[in-house]
Chains A and B, each alone.
Chain A
Amino acid sequence: MALFYGFLLIFLLLNLLAGLWRIMRGPTGADRMLAAQLFGTTTVAMLVVMAQLQEQASLRNVALVIALLAAVTAVAFVRRAWPEKETSADAD
Chain B
Amino acid sequence: MLTDYLALLLLIVGGFFFFAGTVGLLRFPDVYTRLHALTKADNLGLGFIMAGLAIQSGSWLVAGKLLVIWLLVMLAGASVAHLIARRALQRDITPWQR
Contacts and interface: CB of A to CB of B under 8 A. Distances in A.
Interface in A4-41: 4, 8, 11-12, 15, 18-19, 21-22, 28, 30-31, 33-35, 37-38, 41
Given A22-B26, A49-B49, A64-B72, A33 B66 contact: no
Contacts of B72: 64, 67-68, 71
Interface residues of B, number: 46
B contact patch SS:
helix
A18 B91 CA distance: 28
Contacts of B53: 48-49, 51-52
The winner among B7, B66, B81 for most chain A CB atoms within 10 A is B66
B18 to A, nearest CB: 6
The winner among A8, A45, A71 for most chain B CB atoms within 10 A is A45
Contacts of A34: 25, 31, 34-35, 38, 81, 84
B6 interface: no
B84 A60 contact: no
A37 B19 contact: no
Contacts of B56: 1, 52
A37 B49 CA distance: 18
A4 B8 contact: yes
B25 A19 contact: yes
A87 to B, nearest CB: 11
Interface of B: 4, 7-8, 11, 14-15, 18-19, 21-22, 25-26, 31, 34-35, 38, 41-42, 45-46, 49-50, 53, 56-57, 62, 65-66, 68-69, 72-73, 75-77, 79-81, 83-84, 87-88, 90-93
